[in-house]
Amino acid sequence: MNAVTQLYQDVPAPGTRLQELQDWVGEVAALVRPDAIHWCDGSDDEYAALLAGMRSDGILLPLNQATHPGCWLHRSDPDDVARVEHLTFVCTRERDDAGPNNHWMPPDEAHAKIDALFEGCMRGRTMYVVPYCMGPVDSPLARCGVEITDSPYVVANMRIMTRMGEAALARIEREGRERAARGERGPAFVKGLHSLGELDPERRFIMHFPEQLSIKSYGSGYGGNALLGKKCHALRIASWQARQEGWLAEHMLIVGIENPRGETHYVAAAFPSACGKTNLAMLIPPEGYREAGWKVWTVGDDIAWMHPGDDGRLWAINPEAGFFGVAPGTSAKSNPNALATIARDTIFTNVAVTEDNQPWWEGLDDRVPALDWQGRPYDPANGPAAHPNARFTVSAKQCPAYSPRAEDPHGVPISAIVFGGRRASLVPLVFEARDWTHGVLIGAAMASETTAAAAGQVGVVRRDPMAMKPFCGYHFGDYFSHWLSFDKPGAKLPKVFHVNWFRKDADGRFVWPGFGENLRVLEWIIGRVEGTAGAVESAIGGMPREGDIHLEGIGLGIGAARALFAIDGPEWRAELADIGGYLDGYGERAPEALKVELRRIVDALARAPD
């Protein structure tokens, strides 16, 4: 042990007696050489001090406190505004374990490459040690981690997005002691190391080491690259853990639908980023449904961890404690609950501001902003006023529809799983899988038009299985097999559906009104779960019959309604051929059961009239 390492390991760790954690913090400090080390306790006083410090340093700007009390604006570097998938790696010993769906690098090479960037990077900065819990702290379904970072913005966001601080540290210590008593080897928590570095796109990597339960991220302050509890831990690392332990870590919202009889069904739904997850999670029923007694409860808007229960059902928790939502498009029409949620105590990132210093983005209202997301006087020639991937970070407890069961340590039982994407044609409004294997194929074959949540071209249709393409921490073929493995004797699995809110007519207009009207589709889905709603079999799955979905009052003509459910035979044959080629791309690890199911659909479509 060199003198520098010894120096940092001798630094007192307030409240921690877990040697593994103390040693790791010392090793990291010796590498990054901070001026100070701060162990985060998650307290209100600590958060207030963080905000005050960032205001003083210009990292956060106060917004109009009369209209948006406790709200702040952060402007990120213009080259650091989204996830960077081409610089995100899964580093397993065997390349095939990462799969063709991930960028791969050998662990030793990856550590050497990124550690060279970390060398001395925190000189002149404070190193924050952030213990956190993904999920309710007392939940057996939750998992813990520690993020080390030099960004107070990241610390503040992690406080909102996770259960961060003393309670999480106490659980980490307890689990560490229990593991040691059982003689178990391996890390007791997920270790995440992050630094802003120079915010240089040429010196930026996000490395995942699932076999070591470790994450290293350098050169970015954007949420998906820097809030290591979010996509990095809760999906890429957790999906690896879930496969080993027999559960599912998924890119899914969780929403409770309460019918007029007071019965609540919980639905998990997977959509690619910026395709309406938050809107659906916070859905407000149409007026007629509200008057009839329908209610919607928000459990989570982005990630679901689903575990088989003793009763054979899948039980889910939202591992997050907040929302990191896309601001553009959020409005009183699309998501009034979101607007109410972010009216106070919210950190906004890369939004525009009005003349009186209120946050603004495209789709909010018809005001003209004063400054764009880079702080320049607004000029339409410079592009949108708010960045298309502008975000808000806010506690989930502020949501008016926040579910009373969101903190239930045992989770909520899932009645239905819904897959969906942004498709302008081809895919009908809703259809049902005939069984679990068909449902897994539907999820594996998902495709959607790309959005601004990831760097790159927008509007390109790409396969995004279970909305997990950027987030699955291992080979997709193994991932599909893991999904199939839940279909076993005694299992009471959710019914599986696919929806498409984004079908367009010949003039390029959306056919389905969406937003709160989506409850009409969820009503049919729940009816199918309960066995009270009808369906007719088609080649691609069960479809609502005419009249099964209540369309009164939304102004759809007969032609539009039928267009929502039209199945174009030639287009679907081309789609199925493309799906077959996609599955073949995963080689021998692609489950044969999915290929058999695909051939069944191809045969059924061949027998169906065009």
Question: CA–CA distance from 187 to each of 104, 108, 171 (Å)?
Answer: 22, 18, 14
- Whose CA is closest to 271, among 288, 255, 285? 255
Rounded to whole angstroms, the Cα distance separating 89 from 425 reads 33
Report how many helices (DSSP H) and strands (DSSP E) the chain contains, helices first. 18, 29
Is 144 a residue of the active site?
Answer: no
| CATH of segment(s) 324-390 | 2.170.8.10
Contact predicate 465/480, CB 8 Å: yes
Rounded to whole angstroms, the Cα distance separating 211 from 220 reads 24
| CATH 2.60.40.10 correct for 3-60+87-246 | no
Q: What is the pLDDT of residue 6?
A: 47
Rounded to whole angstroms, the Cα distance separating 18 from 475 reads 34
- Whose CA is closest to 150, among 46, 3, 50, 19? 50
Q: What is the pLDDT of residue 455?
A: 54
Rounded to whole angstroms, the Cα distance separating 249 from 396 reads 19
- Whose CA is closest to 270, among 468, 433, 470? 468
> Is 276 marked as a binding-site residue?
yes
Q: What is the pLDDT of residue 276?
A: 83
| Cβ-proximal residues to 257 (8 Å cutoff; 6+ apart), any chain | 264, 265, 266, 267, 294, 295, 296, 297, 519, 522, 523, 526
Q: What is the pLDDT of residue 591?
A: 98
Q: Which tokens in the block code for residue 448? A: 């959607």
Q: What is the pLDDT of residue 275?
A: 79
Exposure of 266 by Cβ count < 10 A (0-12 exposed, 13-18 middle, 19+ buried)? buried
Q: What is the pLDDT of residue 561?
A: 85
Return the SS3 of 16. Answer: coil
> Is 278 marked as a binding-site residue?
yes
Q: What is the pLDDT of residue 152?
A: 98
Q: Which of 232, 275, 399, 472 is an active site residue? A: 275
User: What is residue 50's DSSP assignment?
Assistant: H
CA angle 544, 547, 550 (to 5 degrees): 95
Strands 447-449 and 461-463: antiparallel
> Is 232 marked as a binding-site residue?
no
> Is 55 marked as a binding-site residue?
no
Which residue ranges make up each domain of the chain?
3-60+87-246, 250-322+403-607, 324-390
Q: Which tokens in the block code for residue 399? A: 């949501």
454 phi and psi angles, rounded to 5 deg: -125, 145
Exposure of 212 by Cβ count < 10 A (0-12 exposed, 13-18 middle, 19+ buried)? middle
pLDDT tens-place string over residues 304-335:
999 999 999 999 999 999 999 999 999 999 99
Rounded to whole angstroms, the Cα distance separating 273 from 440 reads 20
User: What is residue 243's DSSP assignment?
Assistant: H
Please determine whether the domains at 250-322+403-607 and 324-390 fall in the same fold group of CATH.
no
Q: Which tokens in the block code for residue 429? A: 């409004």
Q: What is the pLDDT of residue 136?
A: 98
User: What is residue 493's DSSP assignment?
Assistant: P
Residues of the chain where predicted confidence (pLDDT) is lower than 70: 1-15, 274, 450-459
Q: Which tokens in the block code for residue 58? A: 């210009």
Q: What is the pLDDT of residue 17?
A: 85
Three-state SS for 539-587 is: CCCEECCCCCCCCCCCCCCHHHHHHHCCCCHHHHHHHHHHHHHHHHCCH
Q: What is the pLDDT of residue 416?
A: 99
> Is 145 marked as a binding-site residue?
no
pTM attached to this predicted model: 0.95
> Is 273 marked as a binding-site residue?
yes
Rounded to whole angstroms, the Cα distance separating 470 from 170 reads 32
Rg (C-alpha) for the chain, rounded Å, is 24
CA atoms within a 13 Å half-sphere pointing along the CA-CB vector of 7: 11
> Is 83 marked as a binding-site residue?
yes
User: Residue 13 carries which side chain, given as an amino acid letter?
Assistant: A
- Whose CA is closest to 196, among 173, 175, 225, 169? 225
Rounded to whole angstroms, the Cα distance separating 579 from 581 reads 5
- Whose CA is closest to 289, among 534, 510, 549? 549
Q: What is the pLDDT of residue 255?
A: 98
Q: Where are the alpha helices (DSSP H) in 186-286?
A: 223-226, 238-245, 277-281
- Whose CA is closest to 97, among 206, 280, 243, 233? 243
| CATH of segment(s) 250-322+403-607 | 3.90.228.20
